[in-house]
Amino acid sequence: MNYSVFRFGFLFFLAMAFSGSLFAQSWDFIKEKEGIKIYTRMESGNSVKSYKGVTEINAPAEKVYAMIEDVNHTEWWDKNLNQIKVLVYEKDKRAQYYLIYDLPWPITDRDLCVNVTVNIDPATGVRKVIAGPLPGLMPEVGGMVRIRDYHQTWTIKPTAKGTAYVELEGCVDPAGSIPDWLSNMVIVDSPLKIIGGVKTQMEK
């Protein structure tokens, strides 16, 4: 094989492999409340900011994961959720939900179909709960706006102290026409409240 061709192919491979990390914007720190830090950043090709919330919870990682994964206890979820319908559930494997967000007038309510998968690393004890949109699962309802762009990942890592490092990263496009304060709630206040709900339940 011609050496120059090989070198070009190798450099092209490296460029493709690392392009995400090279061009991705860094996270911007937004606020910290009760030990929870919130960050946001713009993603390439997306007009909506991604969010990341991190905290340490004074409870074992497996216990924190068990609460997040448990479909029978959703009282700590976003308080704007008016309806949570579990359509499919396989413990430690996957789930499917239909959610309705009750938003204050005059903002139109939103609904969302979600597919969830679970990844557990037996060697490290790291658990991931990965959620994304599930088009076509439920018919659209008049008077509501369907959220189609939604991605969220919980990462729960055990620490040497016996506590849990918890990270919630995601991006939600609420769709339709909404005011700036609602966008801010979605990307900052909502993850803060969700993580705070888990933290409160685990540490009380």
Q: What is the pLDDT of residues 31-88, one digit of tens each?
A: 999 999 999 988 776 677 889 999 999 999 999 999 999 887 777 777 777 788 899 9
Task: Name the domain count of the chain.
Answer: 1
Residue 70 Cα to chain centre, angstroms: 16
CATH number where 92 lies:
3.30.530.20
pLDDT, tens digit, 9 for 90 and up, residues 80-135: 777 888 999 999 999 999 988 887 777 788 889 999 999 999 999 999 999 999 88
- What range does the domain containing 160 cover? 23-203
Residue 156 burial (10 A CB sphere; 0-12, 13-18, 19+):
buried
Q: State the pLDDT confidence band at 185, using cuts at 50, 70 and 90.
A: low
Rounded distance, CA 137 to CA 9, Å? 42
Residue 191 included in any domain: yes
- Residues counted in the chain: 204
Residue 170 included in any domain: yes
Residue 59 included in any domain: yes
Q: pTM for the full model?
A: 0.82
Which token pair is 42?
Answer: 């713009």
Between 97 and 8, name the one with better pLDDT. Answer: 97
* Low-confidence winner among 130-134, 138-142, 146-150, 186-190 (lowest mean pLDDT): 186-190
Residue 77 included in any domain: yes
Q: Check residue 181 and give its pLDDT.
A: 64
* Low-confidence winner among 41-50, 166-175, 187-196 (lowest mean pLDDT): 41-50
Most confident of 41-45, 99-103, 146-150, 159-163: 159-163
